[in-house]
Amino acid sequence: MKYDIAIIGAGIVGLATALKIKEKSPDKKVLIIDKENDVAAHQTGHNSGVIHSGLYYKPGSLKATNCITGYKMLVDFCEKNEVPYDICGKVVVATSKEEIPVLNGLFTRGIANGLDGLKMLDKDEIKEYEPHVAGLEGFWVPQTGIVDYSVVSQKMKTLLKQTDTIFALGSKVTNIKITSTEVNIIAGGEEYQSAQLINCAGLHSDKIAEMTGDNPGIKIIPFRGEYYTLKPEKEYLVKNLVYPVPDVELPFLGVHFTRMQRGGVEAGPNAVLAYKREGYKKTDISLPELFETLAWPGFQKVIKSFWKMGMGEFYRSYSKSAFTKALQKLIPEIVADDLVKGASGVRAQACDRDGGLLDDFLIHQTDRVINVLNAPSPAATSALSIGESVAALALK
């Protein structure tokens, strides 16, 4: 069979894109290819499960606009499809005087991004929301919520199957040829023909783009994020979500506490270089992939700029007591014994040649191909909105 649109990647971005294509154009023949045997096997199934409000992002950026629209679409999707979620709100807290101007800037940005009901909190008011959190000042974000993105993705898969979308799971894409009339995709030993291709391959999106002949000038750098879990008898320390003031130079939000939709409370994620694109354990190493990362001129500049912060993250990754110390800034009464090693996830963060860790989503279109090249957090929250834009590009 020849397809109208083939999508590589059955993470939440690929699935949401397929849903939007079928919503707008039900007759299109859509194929979703993934190398894993089920959906949501990588970033989508290994994240914090937060429905982001759109607080952090530069007003007008793709992250800001897609997060705010995607948030509403996601909540609507969960309502319609009986996917459990909880808009529980979160507190962001400054724990040192130096962080207060950044906290205030973030509050102003939230208002600029259209968030209602943000409320500045002094240190006593913080305790009304989170009794065990110590901060000098903070604010309350009522819109933030939690959901299990694996559950969302399974629901999307079920809906797509009802629309006759074909899934080729367990099929790794190894080669792509583009002719004047079609795209030929070799995956799992089969050859698929499609009029168009959409690349939503997350940690491998740059590799897939290269296979299509696109050279967008970025490399995906894998940053592992490790979590600890609070012991059940210590879960009372966190009511909902507790976030620090982030480092504005970096596209990561800092180690936070998250009550999970599936139960339990996680603390994390940190951000350390993964030695393999899907390297969930410290011992996962791929020498060719590591060499490729280290040889990328942009990454060498990242090391020069952020080596001090990187060393700190690396140290905390190996030392539970150092990780605990970082958490104690938010909740002083936490001790190492309250924490059990949890899961981890790997972020696909695009880095350009000049050492910029791309701050915004990046979508690059060439003849017959749309490459989604930078879709880190909050892309799970934003997926339905990103999917709508990508579907519109494909159907134009």
- Residue ranges that bind ligand FAD, judged by CB under 6 A: 8-14, 33-36, 41-44, 46-50, 52, 172-173, 200-204, 225, 269, 345-347, 375-381
> Which residue reads 């150092």 in tokens?
322
- Nearest approach, Cβ of 36 to ligand FAD (angstroms)? 5
Q: What are phi and psi of 215, to 5 degrees?
A: -125, 85
Nearer to ligand FAD, 8 or 237 (CB): 8
- Nearer to ligand FAD (CB atom), residue 127 or residue 282: 282
Residue by residue, DSSP assigns 315-333 as HHHH-HHHHHHHHHTT-TT
To ligand FAD, the closest distance from the beta carbon of 324 in angstroms equals: 19
Which residues sit opposite 183 in a β-bridge? 178, 194
Q: How far is the CB of 277 from ligand FAD (least distance, A)?
A: 9
Q: How far apart are CA 185 and CA 207, in angstroms?
A: 14
Q: Which residue matches tokens 């897609």? A: 66
Q: How far apart are CA 294 and CA 221, in angstroms?
A: 9
**How far is the C-alpha of 391 from the C-alpha of 387, rounded, in Å?**
6
Could you tell me the smallest distance in angstroms from the CB atom of residue 221 to ligand FAD? 12
Rounded to a whole number of angstroms, the minimum distance from the CB of residue 345 to ligand FAD is 3
Distance CA 276, CA 282 (A): 10
Nearer to ligand FAD, 34 or 137 (CB): 34
Nearer to ligand FAD, 50 or 391 (CB): 50
Residue nearest to ligand FAD (CB): 11
- Nearest CB to ligand FAD, comparing residues 137 and 339: 339
Closest CB to ligand FAD among 13 and 106? 13
Listed in sequence order, the residues at least 6 apart from 44 whose beta carbon sits closer than 8 Å to its beta carbon are 11, 12, 13, 149, 150, 153, 380
Smallest separation, CB 32 to ligand FAD (Å): 9
In whole angstroms, the minimum distance from the beta carbon of 170 to ligand FAD comes to 9
**Best CA proximity match to 298, nearest among 357, 210, 229:** 357
Which residue lies nearer to ligand FAD by CB, 95 or 205?
A: 205
The β-bridge partners of 362 are 374
What would the two tokens of residue 364 be? 């690059």
